[in-house]
Structure formats: C-alpha cells, structure tokens
Chain A
Amino acid sequence: MNTNDFIHRISRVIWPSMGATSLMVLILLFSIYLYHNPTVRLVEAPPNVKSVLVEKNEPQIIEGVHIATGLKDGDGLQLVIKNCTNCHSSKLIIQNRMSADSWRQTISWMQRTQNLWDLGENEALIVNYLATNYAPNKKGRRQNIEGIEWYRLELD
C-alpha cells in the first residue's frame, strides 16, 4: 500500500462521515435559530411578499406591474396613482384602451362633470403614460375565441 492509496482509503471513510456530521450540525444550528426566531416560516413566501419586505419604502413593482394598483410600470405611474385612483379604481384604467386624444378627452370630461382638478403640466405626462401603456389594439368585427380552457364534458 503506497501513501496515495492510504490517503485515498482514509478519505473514503472520513469524507462521508464528515458530510453526515456537518449536516447534523447544520440541522442543529437551524433548529436553534428557529427556536429563537419563531416568526420564520419553513414554507417559502411567494415572491410578492418578499418584495414588500425588502422594498418597504419603494413602490412595489413586480414583473412590470405595480402590485397595489395593478397598473403597468412606466414613466408617470406615480402621477396616475396620485391623480386618478382617489376617485375611481385603477381597474377602470386597466380595462380601457384609448389613444392619447381619447385619454385627453376622458380627462376633460372628468374635469367638466366629475370634480377632477386641473392637472397642470402633469396632464401631458399622465396622458403619455396612459396612451403608452393602455393603447388600443385592433379587434376587427369579431375576434377568435381566446383563452379556451378545454375540459372533458361528462354526458349521461
């Protein structure tokens, strides 16, 4: 038996046992940690929850969407939140699609009839945000049926 062979044999015995020992030590340490910090949950939190914890003082944007309102991230988002969602839901914006002109007309209608205040120089920024993120898409006279969820129909 040469030296190399000896080392090889020793390591074959030691390494697995060291692996097992380290694992046990880790489990023990983690258990102590859990014991002293009961708020830690073993189930991983969903990504949006993590983001809220990390970015406490930043707007929460996940995958390009502002979570609290559902509005798309983009230049002018904060202005839209501050000026539009006091009176009506962001959902009214999200489900609509308009050209810059039509968004401008809608703002003007809200100012004439719905007590919306003068937006001053912010109006251009707001219209730009809306026309960029909520622009019309072509539908034609009839669209295909989209998003069909196929299921087996049970018949007698």
Chain B
Amino acid sequence: MSSEDSRRIFIKQAAVTGLGISLGSANAFASTAALDQAAVNEQDPYELFGKHPDMLLLNDKPWNMEATAHLLDDSITPSEKMFIRNNGKIPTKIDINKWTLQVLGESAKSKKTYSLHDLRSKFKTFTYQLTIECGGNGRSEFDPPAKGNQWTVGAISCAEWTGVRLKDVLKDVGINEDAVYIGYYGEDVHLSGDHSKHPISRGIPLAKAMEDETIIAFAMNGQDIPEAHGYPLRLIVGGYPGSASGKWLSRLVIRDKIHDGAKMAAPSYSVPIRSVAPGEEVPTEEMKIIEEMPVKSLITYPKTGAVITLGQQLPIRGHAWSGHDEVIQVEYSIDFGASWKVARLESPVNKFAWQHFNAIIDFTEEGYYEVWAAATDKKGNRQPMLVPGWNPKGYLNNACHRIAVRVVAA
C-alpha cells in the first residue's frame, strides 16, 4: 500500500471517528482495540503539527510523516514541510522555566546542570543551516523489503538551527582523556508507557561532538523548536542520521566507550561491515554504526508528472548534500544515464547545509522522459542510479532521484 493510500485510510478513519462522536454512541466500535485506534486518530496530525496537507503520514503511533520531493523546494525547510520521525510519545506538560540539561558521565570531569537561560547566557550562540536526513530515507526501495517505516524520498530537511556549540558546553563540564563518545537522553516516553525504557538514546563519537556545527539548539528558523521536532531543546548533528539529533534533550553523557543507549546496538542504525547479498542474514557483530550520511540529491522542481510542449525549455532545480564533505558536482540525465550534463551548483552556506542546483533542459523530440540527478562529493563519492548495497534494516539508499516529464507536440 502506498503512503497516499494510507493517508486516505487515515482520512476515512477520521471521518468514521467523527461520526461516532456525532452519534453520541461509543459502541459504534466493536472492540476496545478499535476504540484505541480511533482515539489516536481523533487528532489530525496535519492540524496538530501544522503540517502541509501534501505531507505523507506513515505512522501515527509514534508519529512519522514525510515530505514529497516537490514540497522540499524551499531553500530553508519550513516546519510545515519537515519530516517527523519519532520513536516514542512526544512529552507533554513542558515547563521551559524548569527545563534543564544535565551533563555527566564516567568521562566527565564534573556534573553540571544548565537551565535554558544558563545555556543562552553562558555560551555564545550560533546559527547554521543543517541537513538532517533519516538513516532510513529511501527504505521503501529495498528488495527484499526491510522492516520499519517505508520512507520514500522525503525524510530530509535543511532548516536553520540556532543554539550553542556542544563542544563549548562539554568543555565547560570538562572532558577526561578517555572520553570517546557522547550520548543523549530525551524526555519522550516509550510507546509501551514503561518509564524505565527510553524510546531512543543515541549519540556521536567525540570528534563529531567537537565540530563547530554540532549544536544544542533552542530555535529553528528563528522561532521556538516545534513540539514534534524537539521543543524546547534538541541536539543537532548535521550530516549524521537524524537519530543522532536527539529531541526533547535533557541529558548528555560523556562516555569512555560507545554509548549503549536504546537503538545504539546493531542492527539499529547499523549496516554490514562488508557488502552482502540481498536478503543475506547478517550477524549483529558484523555490523557497524552508521556515521556520515552518503552523498545525495533531490529534484524539487518541477513536481514529477510535468507536461510541456516541444520547444519549451524545462527549468529544474533541487538540493544536494553529503555527510562526508561538500558536494562538488550535480549532473542530470534525460536518457536514463546514457549521457549527463552538469547543473549549476551553489556553494553551501555553511558546512552540512544542503546546496542548491539548477539547470535548463532542452528536449528535441516528443515523448516520455525521466530527469535523473546525480551528485558527487569532494571525496569522489557519486550517487548510484540503482538502489545501493542491500542491508537488513534498509538504510542509506542514496540512489538518484528522478522525475517523469512528458513532451507533447506544439
């Protein structure tokens, strides 16, 4: 079932739920399970989170939504078009006056607690445009299928985040020489309601934590962080899987080993160390944690399905990004990769910001076309046209994005 189908089902469910209420009859539903489901769906996530109506709802418990390619046309992703990937329940009753960030751990020289005011007043504030992509973006294309949310292309955003540098806070606490990893904890609640469990508690190697662009953010696009995206505090780690950017941040731990929080262990956010055949069983000890996200690009204009007249030039544009390094080239093809032309490419505003590209395409004959885009980063990594190496959890699909175009007679 496509995401659009599930969206339709959601709307149907909402309609039925609404009817149940208007009839004043709770027993319109047969089982309590159905009632639970209905209760979840009473909240329209589009209204609840202020999302664009064309966003696709993948999951409602926990909330997971993604954008479509054409929704991501803005240079800076606005909240209404930003994907949501939640692992647990969004915390309720947030009091920003009482919210604190605790920093501790076996490799911390001291244990410190900061209020939101402390963070703002004690440390210098920085603003960066940072690309955050879900590690499973593109999962829906793997064969055999990988379990989890079946993201297509829209679990990617590049917003403007404001906060303090993680390294400034860590230095203020003091880092022992044996420190190797930083772990985070947030205030989201495990789906089972068990408060002893964390829905997710991941982290990053110390070197990544010490980069200028790794920040503890308290604002997104110049405003408070939206609740679905981590209000009031979020760790932002550009270029790493989105799961490294811990939401509703309340605790950081300086570790002398790789952090062992929820979803740190393989197979979560891990891929095989060596290339494997599709469907192959991979023991967890033969997997490694995903760090940098691969080079990728997205055509955000026009929307797929454009019909133009022969003789009209087709402008295209989009974004390209890489967790490894700067993107140095974006090419496009209208003949399924037989030939490529180079698009104009802008430099990034800052490290880990996506870069904008554009081109104008001439078609010499009528017919069905696909425009494919392929980005290459400074290290020489180029996007594959095919779905890359299969892995058990369906991560890191950076295959070329394409749109369909039809050229008709004048």
Nearest-Cβ distance from residue B236 to partner chain A, whole angstroms: 27
Known interface pairs A67-B13, A70-B13. Does A96 touch B148 (Cβ–Cβ under 8 Å)?
Answer: yes
B143 touches A138 (CB 8 A): yes
Contacts of A139 in B (CB 8 A): 141-143, 145
Interface of B with A (CB < 8 Å)? 1-4, 6, 9-10, 12-13, 15-16, 19-20, 25, 27-31, 33-34, 36-38, 40, 57-62, 141-145, 147-150, 191-192, 194, 197, 302-308, 312-315, 370, 385-387, 399, 402-404, 406
Contacts of B20 in A (CB 8 A): 52
Q: Which of A1-9, A12-20, A25-33, A85-93 contacts B (4 or more CB under 8 A)?
A: A85-93
27 A-B Cβ contacts within 8 A? A46-B15, A49-B16, A59-B30, A68-B13, A68-B38, A70-B6, A70-B10, A82-B33, A89-B60, A89-B62, A90-B37, A91-B6, A91-B57, A91-B58, A92-B149, A94-B1, A94-B9, A96-B148, A106-B147, A136-B143, A136-B145, A139-B143, A140-B143, A145-B404, A152-B307, A155-B312, A155-B314
Partner of A86, one of B36, B142, B149: B36
Nearest-Cβ distance from residue B356 to partner chain A, whole angstroms: 20
In the assembled complex, the Cα of A118 lies from the Cα of B218 at a distance in Å of: 42
Main secondary structure of the interface of A (DSSP, over half): loop
For chain A, which range describes its interface: under 10, 10 to 19, 20 to 34, or 35 or more residues?
A: 35 or more
A68 touches B16 (CB 8 A): yes
In the assembled complex, the Cα of A60 lies from the Cα of B33 at a distance in Å of: 13
A48 touches B30 (CB 8 A): no
Interface of A with B (CB < 8 Å)? 46, 48-49, 52, 56-60, 65, 67-70, 78, 81-82, 85-92, 94-99, 102, 106, 114-115, 136, 138-143, 145, 147-153, 155
Nearest-Cβ distance from residue A88 to partner chain B, whole angstroms: 5
Residue of B nearest to A67 (CB): B16
B16 touches A149 (CB 8 A): no
A85 touches B36 (CB 8 A): yes
In the assembled complex, the Cα of A92 lies from the Cα of B85 at a distance in Å of: 13
Residue of A nearest to B30 (CB): A59
